[in-house]
Structure 1
Amino acid sequence: MKRLGILIAGLTLSPAAIAQPTPSGSVDYAVGAQYDSTHVYVAEADFDRFVASFVATFGGTTSKRGIFQVTPTPSQTISQIALTPVGIVSVFGFKTPIPYPFGDERTGYLVTDLDQAVLAARHAGATRLVETFPDPIGRDVLVQWPGGVAMQFYWHTTKPSYAPLATVPENRIYLTADAADRFIAAWQAFSHATIVSDVAAAPGDEIGRPGTTYRRIRLTSGYGKMSVAVSDGALPWPYGRDITGYEVADLDATLAKAESAGAAVLVPAKASGDRRAAIVQFPGGYIAEIHSLGAK
């Protein structure tokens, strides 16, 4: 899974990184949704409570908890990965101030070739927030897309091996019309995402604005699912803070587990379109959408 690490002096970049040729638009650098994680930053005091609550809600296992330097500049954080059947989270509880610009990236995506993936992302319209840096088991980079959507790409020297997920989580992105089409075009050019649906007038109550409508675009790619909500940006809390949506078989049972594990239901379950969804806040502040398909 995702590992940021210590900068190694004298790194020799590959010829591809130095020459920077125009990448082929036909190449897909995705490995699989089971290797992609949401980055969750919590206070050190809340770290264990969050991990325990998340796993109690969705099931799964965790990696070994440890203290690491995960940025190319000096810092220390508690770090652990929670691997659940509905998606993975990489959890950070910094013991030091968080160096810029870490903390704003929403997801970490494993790629087959980091240098070429970075070139392809830049060619598609992304910019690097932090240039590629090495860690003890691979390499990492932070990029930003039109609209300010930040994410991490990573590559491991030894490829990890995880079983496919039971359901693929949904990267939930909120944008205004100023950036939405540019972001979607850039992301499609890089990820080869397919637009599953593009609804010009989705019910506004899905984003806390009953009596209004908004544009909702859902996409899928080798990097998983994505839902882009396009509005005027004036959203009531907690909408816009839910950066990942998790699909479960039984929403009511999952919400009961979440509450028993210390999470709070911020938006009760309600049906809209092909799903029934709620918004939950876990210990430490992480906010997520949880949904089941079909109204039941």
Structure 2
Amino acid sequence: MAAGNYSTVTEFILAGLTENPELQLPLFLFFLGVYVVTMAANLGMITLIGLSSHLHTPMYCFLSSLSFIDLCCSTVITPKMLVNFVTEKNTISYPECMTQLYLFIFFIVSESHMLAMMAYDRYVAICKPLLYNVTMSYQVCSWLVVEVYMMGLIGATAHTGCMLIVVFCKAKVINHYFCDIYPLLELSCSSTYINEVVLLCFSLFNILAPSLTIVVSYVSIIASILQIHSTEGRSKAFRTCSSHILAVTISYGSAAFMYLQPSNVSFMGQSKVASVFYSIIVPMLNPFIYSLRNKEVKVALSKIIEKRPFCISRDF
């Protein structure tokens, strides 16, 4: 390719979800509502866990961390996407694009491993209840959370580092609503072989390794539940796990559809839908999935609500 066809790209243009003008306002209002609910629900979950002493357990430590990850992941993606619905040309500078890519990968990889840690926590709680306090001590829980963020840091650094060496052409319209790996690689003038190998290897590890942990954990959990003679005990154990299984299915299913396929068979229309699920919809759903089916969270919330009128009336 001639040297004149290369350019030093200083900014990109985000194509967004749709080019249909009639859908811009409805989609803006919809995703604005989703973002507000996501912020309120995840901040509420973090605050509730922080204020309720009986929720200061490993399970809710992981859940609080998951809410923080969801809150940050949505904030990295949604505000810029909302701008795209109300502006004629949504530009993003090269440094901003790389920063968005880095933060998105960091939080999405961290969420993948956090879900695996939550499955392991349920495995220990149900299959080895007598050893739970030792196996999932405060120190162990803290180290597991640190390891989750380290995996996110490694994944984000590897992918973004490889992207920084890619040479981009004059065509700079990203056929997506944020700076993601495949849409950026489509604009490359240089070889993307290394990027695709790194992407496939890390995707296999960050999706399949946690998935395997979750599957093994829940196979063991189900085997233990089936040995419980009490119908009420089995029902309680299944309720404890069902919300996590639902969250995992939605999150891993959409992420696997996006990243565990070669770039040459990637249909961007379908990929955008999958991306919407794991980057915007899942962060909104997680706090509801884990709270609406959880009696302890409901009890903690009702106690907080009951305390407020008492505190206010006492002040007067």
Q: Is the helix fraction higher in 1 or 2?
A: 2
Ranked by relative contact order (alpha carbons within 8 Å, sequence separation 6 or more), the top structure is 2
TM-score (norm 1): 0.25
Q: Is the strand fraction higher in 1 or 2?
A: 1
Q: Quick check: which has more Rg, 1 or 2? A: 2
TM-score (norm 2): 0.24
